[in-house]
Amino acid sequence: MKPLKSRKSLHIAVLSAVLLSSVGTLSSAAAASDSSVSYKQFLNDQYAITLPDSLSKGDFVIAVNRILKTEAKDQTNVFTDLKEDSPYYKAALALHEKGILSEGKLQGDQPLTQLQATFIALKASGLKELAYTYPKDKIKAALAKVHIDYETNNQLTLQAAQELAAAIDTGLVSSGFEANTAASQSFASDLLGKILTFNGQYKHYIGTTSDDDIFSKINDAWRTEDLISSPDLRSVFDEALKKNLITGYNLKDSRFDAHFDPKQSLTYGHSDITHAIQLIGLLRSENIQAKVQLEPKTSAFIYLKEWGEPTQSDDYQVVQIENGNFIAYAKEYDIEFEFDNAEQKNKFQQVIFQYAKKNSEDQTGLIHSSWWQPLYYSLTDVKDYKVITNNKVSKGHYYAQSFSLSDKSDEVVSGLKKINASLNVDSYKFWVDEPFYNYLLGDYK
User: At residue 4, does pLDDT exceed 90?
Assistant: no
User: At residue 1, does pLDDT exceed 90?
Assistant: no
Task: Give me the pLDDT at residue 422, please.
Answer: 95
User: At residue 17, does pLDDT exceed 70?
Assistant: no
Q: Do 169 and 243 have their domain in common?
A: no
CA dist 233 and 393 (Å) reads: 8
User: SS3 of 207, please?
Assistant: strand
Average pLDDT over all residues of the chain? 91
Give the DSSP per-residue string, 349-408. Answer: HHHHHHHSB--STT--S--TT-BSS-EEEESS--TT-EEEEEEEEEETTEEEEEEE-GGG
Residue where one domain finishes, among candidates 198, 219, 253? 198
Which of 295, 298, 321, 296 has its CA nearest to residue 310?
A: 321
141-153 average pLDDT score: 92
Cα-flanking dihedrals φ and ψ of residue 175, to 5°? Answer: -65, -20
* pTM reported for the whole predicted model: 0.85
Q: Do 187 and 312 have their domain in common?
A: no
User: At residue 312, does pLDDT exceed 80?
Assistant: yes
327-353 average pLDDT score: 97
Task: Give me the pLDDT at residue 12, please.
Answer: 36
Which of 176, 175, 171, 134 has its CA nearest to residue 156?
A: 134
Task: Give me the pLDDT at residue 442, please.
Answer: 87
Which of 70, 99, 295, 276 has its CA nearest to residue 203?
A: 295
Backbone CA torsion sign across 122, 123, 125, 129: positive
CB atoms < 10 A from the CB of 420, how many? 14
Which of 331, 325, 330 has its CA nearest to residue 2?
A: 325
Q: Do 142 and 223 have their domain in common?
A: no
User: At residue 421, does pLDDT exceed 90?
Assistant: yes
At 216-256, the pLDDT tens digits run 999 999 999 999 989 999 999 999 999 999 999 999 999 99
52-62 average pLDDT score: 96
At 153-168, the pLDDT tens digits run 888 999 999 999 999 9
Query: For residue 30, is it within any domain?
Result: no
Q: Do 223 and 320 have their domain in common?
A: yes
Give the DSSP per-residue string, 228-291. Answer: ---HHHHHHHHHHHHTTS-SEEEEEEGGG-----GGGEEEEEES-HHHHHHHHHHHHHTT--EE
Total structural domains in the chain? 2
Query: For residue 445, is it within any domain?
Result: no
Residue where one domain finishes, among candidates 177, 198, 219? 198
Provide the pairing of β-strand 207-208 with 426-432: unpaired
Task: Give me the pLDDT at residue 21, please.
Answer: 35
User: At residue 272, does pLDDT exceed 70?
Assistant: yes
Q: Which has more confidence, 154 or 197?
A: 197
CB atoms < 10 A from the CB of 64, how many? 27
Residue where one domain finishes, among candidates 198, 214, 248? 198
* Radius of gyration from C-alpha coordinates of the chain: 25
Q: Do 375 and 423 have their domain in common?
A: yes
Q: Do 65 and 121 have their domain in common?
A: yes
Task: Give me the pLDDT at residue 154, please.
Answer: 80
How many helices (H) and strands (E) in the chain? Answer: 16, 12
Q: Which residues contact 108 (CB under 8 A, 6 or more apart)?
A: 56, 57, 58, 61, 81, 82, 86, 88, 92
Which of 249, 266, 273 has its CA nearest to residue 369?
A: 273
CA distances from 398 to 25, 151, 179, 231 (A): 17, 53, 43, 10
Q: Domain of 216? A: 5-25+204-440
Burial of 41 (0-12, 13-18, 19+ CB in 10 A): middle
For the chain, the maximum distance between any two Cα atoms, rounded to a whole number of angstroms, is 83
Q: Do 367 and 254 have their domain in common?
A: yes
